[in-house]
Structure 1
Amino acid sequence: MKYIVYPLLALLFFANPLAAQKPLPKTPLQAHEYWASAFNANDLEWICSLYTDTAMSRNPDNSDSTGIETICESLRRFMNAAQSIELETLYEMRNGDIALLRSSYTYHILSEDGESLSHSGSGIEIVQRQSDGTWLFMIDHPRGGE
C-alpha cells in the first residue's frame, strides 16, 4: 500500500511543470485558434507566448507596439476590457516560413453602465515559423482587413 500512496502523494504535491505549459501553434491556422483560446481563458502569459520577441502590433489609436513587452501591455488592457472573442480564419497564404492570415472577429465588452456590446472587424496577421517548428505572430493588424 505505501508503494502506491507515496507516488500518488508526489503527483498531488509536485506539479509537473510540463503540464502547465500551453500549446504553441504547429501550423499557421492554429495561431488564430490558440490566440482566441488564450484570450477567452484570460491567459495573458499564453497569448503573449504566441508572439515573436520583435513582433509588431497596431493599436486602436493607430500607433504601433513593437516588442513583446509593449504588445503584452496593450493586450493586457484589451483583455481587461473585453469579455470574450470569436475569431475565424478567412484565408491563409504561405510562402516558406512566412504565412499571411486574414481574420474575422467579434469581441464582447461590458459598457460602463453594464450593457453588453459587441464589435466586429477583420484583421491581417503575419506569422513566422520558428526553428522549433512553431508559428508565432510577427505582425498583428487587428483592423488591417477592413
Structure 2
Amino acid sequence: MKSAKTPQEVHALLAAAFNTKDLNVIMNVYDANGIIFPEPGKEVSGRAEFEEAVKSICAVPGVMEIKTVYCLQSGDVALGRSEWTITDQGKTQVAAKGMEVMRQQPDGNWKIIIDHAFGAEANLVA
C-alpha cells in the first residue's frame, strides 16, 4: 500500500486515496488515533467513528483535488495548509480550506494525526 515518504506527499496521497473510494487506502493516510473534523464544529476520534466519517466523505460523488498551500516541518511533525475541492461533472460539490497536522511514523512514513478540513476558512469561529 502506498505511503507518504515526506509530509509534502500527504495531500496528493489523500486525494488519490479518496478518488479510489477504497477505505483501507484512505485510512492508511491517517493515524486513526488522531482526530478529524469532517465538517465545521464536528470533532471525531476513535477508529470506528473515524471510519464512519471517512465513509461519509467518500459518499460525496466526484473527484477530489488538494492543493498544498504550504507544509511546515519541524522534526517528525508537520503542519499543512490545503485548499481542496470535490467536483462532479464540472460542478463543485465541496470546496474548503483545511489544516492538517502530520507525524512521521516509526516506519518513516507520514500520516495525518489532525485533519481540520475546514480549519482555514475565514469565517470559522472557535
When the two structures are superposed, what TM-score results if normalisation uses the length of structure 2?
0.88
Unaligned runs of 5+ in 1: 1-21
Higher strand fraction (1 or 2): 2
Does structure 2 retain, via aligned residues, the 8 Å contact 1:81–1:109?
A: no
Unaligned runs of 5+ in 2: 122-126
Cα shift readout 1:64-83 (whole Å, capped 9, x = no counterpart): 11123211111111111232
5 Å-filtered alignment, 1:80-91, equals 80-91=59-70
Structure 2 residue 13 is the aligned partner of structure 1 residue 38: no
Over the aligned positions, Cα root-mean-square deviation in angstroms equals: 1.7
Structure 2 CA distance, aligned partners of 1:85 and 1:51?
17
Instruction: Report which structure shows greater RCO (CA 8 Å, sep ≥6).
Output: 2
Bigger mean CA deviation after superposition, 64-73 or 33-42: 64-73
5 Å-filtered alignment, 1:43-122, equals 43-60=22-39, 62-108=41-87, 116-122=91-97
Match of 1:140, SS?
A: strand
Structure 2 CA distance, aligned partners of 1:92 and 1:120?
19
What is the Cα deviation at residue 109 of structure 1?
5.1
Cα shift readout 1:56-113 (whole Å, capped 9, x = no counterpart): 0113251211123211111111111232111111101111110000001111258xxx
Structure 2 CA distance, aligned partners of 1:68 and 1:124?
20
Structure 2 CA distance, aligned partners of 1:37 and 1:127?
17
Cα shift readout 1:12-57 (whole Å, capped 9, x = no counterpart): xxxxxxxxxx201110011111100010111111001111131101
> Residue 135 of structure 1 aligns to which amino acid in structure 2?
W
Q: Which residue number in structure 1 is paired with residue 124 of structure 2?
A: none
Does structure 1 retain, via aligned residues, the 8 Å contact 2:104–2:110?
A: yes
Structure 1 consecutive aligned stretches of length 4 or more whose deviation exceeds 4 Å: none
Match of 1:133, SS?
A: coil
What is the Cα deviation at residue 117 of structure 1?
4.0
